[in-house]
Amino acid sequence: MGFLRHGSPPGYEDDFVAYYAARGDMLRNTAYVLCGDWHLAEDLTQTTFTKLYRAWRRVERHDALDQYARRMLLRAFLDERRRPWRREFSTVPDSTALDTVSDGDQGSEERMVLRTALLRLSRRHRAVLVLRFWADLPVEQVAEILGCSTGTPKGRKLLRSG
């Protein structure tokens, strides 16, 4: 049973399902690097793909889908952080009740140090680092996604938290 919209071209849904199958894990991993929480990363990914599905027939440049999806993910992340319930915690942020990396993973200490450092940065600084070095995007594309000049992602202020 499909959810094909009235007037949508044949293969519309199949193309979307194929894109999700090919790029869903990449987008979820990017979401995790942005937010540091697998559950929130799943929510952000779901929000992104829901919005992408609603806009799918209007997307004309399927060669730029990854960039478009990353932009939608970043906006979902920034919007999510503005919501009041995200400022409330039912447990202490560093509680052992929260998700942790298992001791058996190689390099887990380095991942935790990196995760801690990323979470200390502001959302925009974290977004710049994730887009530049995790998603390997050029400065110009990062600036376009963030809606700023190309000098901003390269600026010295990037290295400071705030």
Task: Using a cut of 0.85, tell me whether the model's pTM lies above it.
Answer: no
Q: What gap in Å lies between CA 44 and CA 78, rounded to an integer? A: 10
Nearest Cα to Cα of residue 160 among 132, 115, 134, 128: 128
**Per-residue pLDDT reduced to its tens digit, 70-112:** 999 999 998 887 766 555 555 566 666 555 555 555 567 878 8
Q: Which helix (H) or strand (E) holds 102?
A: none
What separation, in Å, do the N-terminal and C-terminal C-alpha atoms of the chain show? 48
**Per-residue pLDDT reduced to its tens digit, 118-156:** 888 888 888 888 888 888 888 888 888 888 888 877 664
